Amino acid sequence: MATTETPKTTAQTTDTPRGLIALPQGIARVLIAVGAVGTIASTFMSWTYTSDFPGDLTYYGSPAGLQILALVAGALTLLYALTLWHVRGLNWLNPASAVAPVALAAASAFAVCWFSAIAIAVDLEGLIALDPGAYIAAIFSLAALLGALALPQPGDTPKSYLAKPENIPTAAKLPEWVERLVITAATAAALIVFAYGIGVDPDASETFLGYILLIVFGTWALFTAGLFDRISVLNARHKGFATSMAFLAAALFPFVENDEHNSNLGVNILVVATVALGLNIVVGLTGLLDLGYVAFLGVGAYAAALVSGSEFSRFSGVQFPFWAAMLTGMLASLVFGVLIGAPTLRLRGDYLAIVTLGFGEIFRITVNNLDGTSGPNITNGPNGISMIPDLEIFGFNFGTAHNIGSITIGRFANYFLLMLIITAIVVVVFTRAADSRIGRSWIAIREDETAATAMGINGFRVKLIAFALGASLAGLAGTVSAHVGYSVNPAPYQFAGSVPPNSAFLLAAVVLGGMGTVSGPILGATLLYLLPEKLGFLKEYQLFAFGIALVILMRFRPEGIIANRRRQLEFHDTGQLDIPESGLPDTTVGVTKAGA
Amino acid sequence: MTTTTATSPVLEATGVTMRFGGLTAVRGVDLTVNSGEIVGLIGPNGAGKTTFFNCLTGLYVPTEGRVAYKGTVLPPKPHLVTSAGIARTFQNIRLFANMTVLENVLVGRHTRTKEGLWSALLRGPGFRKAEAASRERAMELLEFIGLAHKADHLSRNLPYGEQRKLEIARAMASDPGLLLLDEPTAGMNPQETRATEELVFAIRDRGIAVLVIEHDMRFIFNLSDRVACLVQGQKLVEGTSDIVQNDERVIAAYLGTPFEGAPGSEEAAEVEAAEAAEAQGTTSTEGPAQ
Ligand SMILES: Nc1ncnc2c1ncn2[C@@H]1O[C@H](COP(=O)(O)OP(=O)(O)O)[C@@H](O)[C@H]1O
Ligand SMILES: [Mg+2]
C-alpha cells in the first residue's frame, strides 16, 4: 500500500490574519486610541442641557454620573490600546497582547456612551435633548469599537473577540513588596468600584445601569486579559496578606461612603452575604438542598430579640450582654437545626428539599401564631418584637454616632463594622471546615453518597454536622440583624418574597455567585441585594428578573460567577482532559492495517 | 498457591440470603476467605455476585445469614463495615468525580483518622500532624498504583483504567484486612488487565486478603488461590482453580447446557459466553472459540 504521506497544505498560516472590518492594522490602532481620547474628552463637555436627567450632565469641565463611567471606560480603552504598542510597563496588563481585552474595553465605552445618549433621548424630549458632548461621545466610542473590530481576528469565529485566549504567559515573579502593592491596589480598586456602586442615588437608575454595563464589560476585558488569574495567583501566594487587605478594605467602606443610608445598605448586604455563606456549607459543600434555610436566621434574630431587653419581648426584664445573646442565638438555631435535621437528613435529594421547605414555613407560621390568642404569647405574633435597644459593648454604644478624627461614624456604620467581624468569623469557619477531613466527607457525600458511606463515612452524622453548623452561623448573623433593624417580625422569613432575606434569595445568591466558594455567595448576595435597591423600576419584577438572570447564568456559566476550581473543571473541562498517554500501545493495530 | 501456613479466616459468611420481593438473588451462600488469600468469585451475569458483595459490605441488609470479620459479626451498616476492615470497589466506578485524585484517596482515610469539626476550626498542631500524615499515606498509595503524577487531576478526567486503579487505592486507604473487588478489569484492554493482575498480587503481598469478582476467566484462574462459582444465587462449586475450571457444571453454566432445569440460566449463560468470546476476540487474532 502507498505509505507516502501528503503533507497537509497549511493555507491558514500563510494567510495574514484579518479583522472583521477591513482596515490596515496601524490605522485600526490609531482609530482605537483616537476614539478613546475623544470619549474621554467628551466627558468634560455637556451631554444635555437640562439638569432633569439623573446625575446632571450639563457642566463643562467636570464629568458627573454617567460621564464619570464613560471617562473610566475611555481610560480603560486607551490603556489597553497602548498595550498593543507594547508600551513599556503596560505589558503586565495584557500579557498575551490579546485583542479581546481591547475589544471589550472599547465595547464598555461604546455601551456606556450609547446607553447614556439613548437614555437621555428617551427620558427627555428626543434627540434635541442631546448636547454636542453626547454626540461626540457616541461617535468617538463607536470609532474605538470599530477600530477594535478591525484588529486581526484572534480565532476562527467573531466570538473570539470576546474569548480569553489560551496560553497566556504566567507572570514573572515580582519582588515581594511589588506583589503586595499589586494586591493592595487591586483591593483598593475593588473597594472604590463597590463604594461607587452603593453610592449611586437610588433615583438614578440610569446611572446604575451604566455602572452595570461598565462593570460587566470592564471585568470581562480584564478577565480575558488574564488579569484575574494573575491576581488570584498573587492572592494564593500571599494568602494571609490578601485576606487581611480584603477585610481592611471592607472596614474602610463606612469611611469612604460616609452616609447612613448607604451604611445601612452595607450592613444588610453583609448579613445576607454571611447567611448565604452559611447556606453554602449545606448546599455548596454537602449538596443538601435546603429550601427553608432562612428560618435559622429568624431563630437567631428572635432569640436575640427576646433577650435584648426590649419591652415588647416576653422576657422584657432580661437583657443579656451581647456575647451571651450571640451564643443564645447560635444555640437556639443549632437546636432548631438538629431538630429539623435529625428526622429529615435520612431523606435524599428532592424529599429533603420539600421537607425543609415545609419546616421553614412552619417556623414562620408558628411565630405568627405565638401571639397570646392562637397560642401562648412568646413572639408577639405578626407584630413582632420592636424597640430592640441598641447594643453596648464595653461601653461603646452602637446606637450613637462616634467621631474618629474628623470622620463621624454613625449608627449603621457601627453595626457595619460589628457585622464585618461576624462575616470574618464565618469566612474563617467556612474555609477551615471545607479544607479538612470533615469538609472532604461533605464533598464526598455530595458527589456520591453510597460510595461515601462505603468509604466509612457516617453519612447521617456528617450531614447533621453540616446542617447544624450552617444553622448556627445563620443564627449568629440573625442576632446582629435583629439589633440593626430595631425590630423582628415573621414576614421576611419566608421561602420567596420581594424583600431579601428569604430562602429563595439566599439560594440564588449561592448559585449565582458560585457554589462551594467563599467569595461567590458574598458577591452573589451583594449583587442580588444591590440591583433591586438601585434599579427602582425592577422592584415589582424582582423575582422575574432573578429567574431570567439565573437562566442566563446557567446557560453560559453554570459554575457561577466565581468558579470553584473543581466546578470549573466540571463544566468546562479546561486543561487536563484525557491527554493521550505517551506511547500508546497501539502498535498491533498499526501492523494489521499496514498488512491489509 | 496457598503458601501461607497460619490461615485464620478473615471473612466468614454463613447462609447469606438476599430476597427482593419474590426474587431470591442470593440463596444461602457460605464463603470463607482466609488471611493472605486471593479468592475469586465467578458466575454468569445476574448470578447475584454484586448483590452478595452488597450484603457483605452492609449496603444491603441480608434477609438471612450472618457475616463475620475476624470472628466478630458485622452490623449491616456500610461505614461500620469499612471501619471494621472491609473495603470495596464498585462494578460501575463510583469515584467522587469532582474531587481530585488525591482527595479521593484522602476520603478513603476517613475511618483511620478522627479529626472532627472542632479540631478543623482550631487547627491545632494535632490537626496539622494528622492532615500531613494522611497526605503522606495517600501519596504513598498513589505511588503504589502509579498515579502519583496525577494527584491534582480531577478523578472524572482520568482514563477508565486509571479510574479503576484509583478506586482500589481509595479502598486501600482505609487500611483494610480484606479488599472486595467487583470486576476490576471490566472495560480494560489486555495490557491493563495484566497490570491489574500484578497489582492484586502486590496487594496480597501487603497482607490484605482479596475477594474478587471477575468475568475474565484467564485472569481469575491465574490469580486466585480458590474460586467459588455462583449461579442463580447459589454457590455451585468452590475449590482451587483446577477443580473449578474442569467442573462440568461450571462449564455447563458458561457454555449454555441447561443446568438442573433452571429457567433463565440458559440465556444468561449464552450472553455470558458471547461476552467472554468477544473479550477473547479482541485479545488475539483467532476467531471466537465457539
Ligand atoms: N436492589 C435490587 N432490587 C431488586 N432486584 C435486584 C436488586 N439488586 C440486584 N437485583 C437482582 O438480583 C440479581 C443479581 O444481580 P447482581 O448481583 O447484580 O448480579 P451479578 O453481579 O452477578 O451480575 C439480578 O437478577 C438483579 O436484577
Ligand atoms: Mg455484578
The residues, any chain, with a CB within 8 Å of residue A149's CB and separated by 6 or more, are: A19, A20, A21, A103, A161
A423, pLDDT greater than 80 = yes
Residue minimizing CA distance to atom 12 of ligand 1: B25
Quick: pLDDT tens for B162-219.
999 999 999 999 999 999 999 999 888 888 899 999 999 999 999 999 999 988 788 8
> Domain B9-85+176-285 class?
alpha beta
Q: Considering every ligand atom, which ligand is closest to the CA of B49?
A: 1
Q: Torsion angle, CA of B259/B260/B261/B267, rounded to 10 degrees? A: -20
Is A451 in contact with B90 (Cβ distance < 8 A)? Answer: yes
CA distance B42 to chain A (A): 23
CA angle A219, A222, A223 (to 5 degrees): 85
Q: What is the mean pLDDT of residues B87-105?
A: 93
Is B79 in contact with A465 (Cβ distance < 8 A)? Answer: no
Q: What is the pLDDT of residue B172?
A: 95
Q: What is the pLDDT of residue B2?
A: 44
Is B121 in contact with A448 (Cβ distance < 8 A)? Answer: no
Three-state DSSP at A253 gives helix
Task: Give Cα A24 to chain centroid, integer Å.
Answer: 40
The residues, any chain, with a CB within 8 Å of residue A477's CB and separated by 6 or more, are: A271, A274, A275, A278, A297, A300, A419, A422, A426
Distance CA A571, CA A558 (A): 7
Q: What is the mean pLDDT of residues A216-242?
A: 86
End-to-end CA distance of chain B: 31
φ, ψ (nearest 5 deg) of residue B242: -60, -45
Distance CA B37, CA A402 (A): 77
Instruction: Write out the three cell numbers for A501.
Output: 432575606
- The widest CA-to-CA distance across chain A, in whole angstroms, is 99
Is B99 in contact with A437 (Cβ distance < 8 A)? Answer: no
Q: Where are the domains of chain A?
A: 18-167+205-227, 258-572
DSSP tally for chain A: helices H, then strands E: 22, 4
**Chain A, window 577-596: residues with a beta carbon less than 8 angstroms from a chain B beta carbon:** 577-578, 581, 585, 592
Which of B80, B91, B24 is CA-nearest to residue B57?
Answer: B80
Determine the residue type at A241.
F
Mean pLDDT, all residues of chain B: 85
Q: What is the pLDDT of residue B216?
A: 79
| Minimal-distance CA residue of chain A relative to B54 | A454
Q: What is the pLDDT of residue A16?
A: 59
- Residue B152 burial by Cβ neighbours in a 10 Å radius (0-12, 13-18, 19+): exposed
Quick: pLDDT tens for A439-470.
999 999 999 999 999 999 999 999 999 999 99
Instruction: Write out the three cell numbers for B3.
Output: 503458601
Is A455 in contact with B108 (Cβ distance < 8 A)? Answer: yes
- H, E, C per residue of A283-296: HHHCCCCCCCCHHH
Q: What is the pLDDT of residue B270?
A: 54
Residue minimizing CA distance to atom 1 of ligand 1: B20
Quick: pLDDT tens for A281-311.
999 999 998 998 999 999 999 999 888 877 7
- H, E, C per residue of A95-128: CCCCCHHHHHHHHHHHHHHHHHHHHHHHHCCHHH
The strand pair at B38-42 and B226-231 is best described as parallel
Q: Which residues pair with B38 in a beta bridge?
A: B210
A20, pLDDT greater than 90 = no
> What is the Å distance from ligand 1's center to A459 Cα?
24
**ipTM for the complex shown:** 0.85
B285, pLDDT greater than 50 = no
CA distance B144 to chain A (A): 19
Instruction: Write out the three cell numbers for B283.
Output: 485479545
Considering only residues B179 and B254, tell me which one the structure prediction assigns the higher pLDDT: B179
Considering only residues A399 and A261, tell me which one the structure prediction assigns the higher pLDDT: A261
Using a CB-CB cut-off of 8 Å, the residues of chain B touching A570 are 97-98, 154, 156
Lining residues, ligand 1, CB within 6 Å: B 20, 23, 25, 43, 45-51
Q: What is the pLDDT of residue B262?
A: 45
Check CB contact of B230 with chain A, cutoff 8 Å: no
Distance CA A105, CA A595 (A): 58
Q: Where are the domains of chain B?
A: 9-85+176-285, 101-174
The residues, any chain, with a CB within 8 Å of residue A136's CB and separated by 6 or more, are: A38, A41, A42, A45
φ, ψ (nearest 5 deg) of residue A22: -80, 100
The strand pair at B234-239 and B226-231 is best described as antiparallel
Residues B74-109 as b/e (b if ≥16 CB within 10 A, e otherwise) read bebbbbbbbbbbbbbbbeebbbbbbbbbbbbbbbbb
Of the pLDDT bands very low, low, confident and very high (cuts 50, 70, 90), residue A15 is low
φ, ψ (nearest 5 deg) of residue A162: -110, -5
Q: Report the residue from A435, A456, A567 with minimal CB separation from B111.
A: A456
Task: Give Cα A63 to chain centroid, integer Å.
Answer: 28
Is A456 in contact with B110 (Cβ distance < 8 A)? Answer: yes
Residue minimizing CA distance to atom 11 of ligand 1: B25
Per mean pLDDT, which of A358-372, A555-569, B44-58 is the most reliable? B44-58
A228, pLDDT greater than 60 = yes
Residue minimizing CA distance to atom 8 of ligand 1: B51
Mean pLDDT, all residues of chain A: 82
Distance CA B248, CA B228 (A): 14
Question: Which pTM value belongs to this model?
Answer: 0.83
The radius of gyration of chain A's CA atoms, rounded to the nearest angstrom, is 28
Check CB contact of A201 with chain B, cutoff 8 Å: no
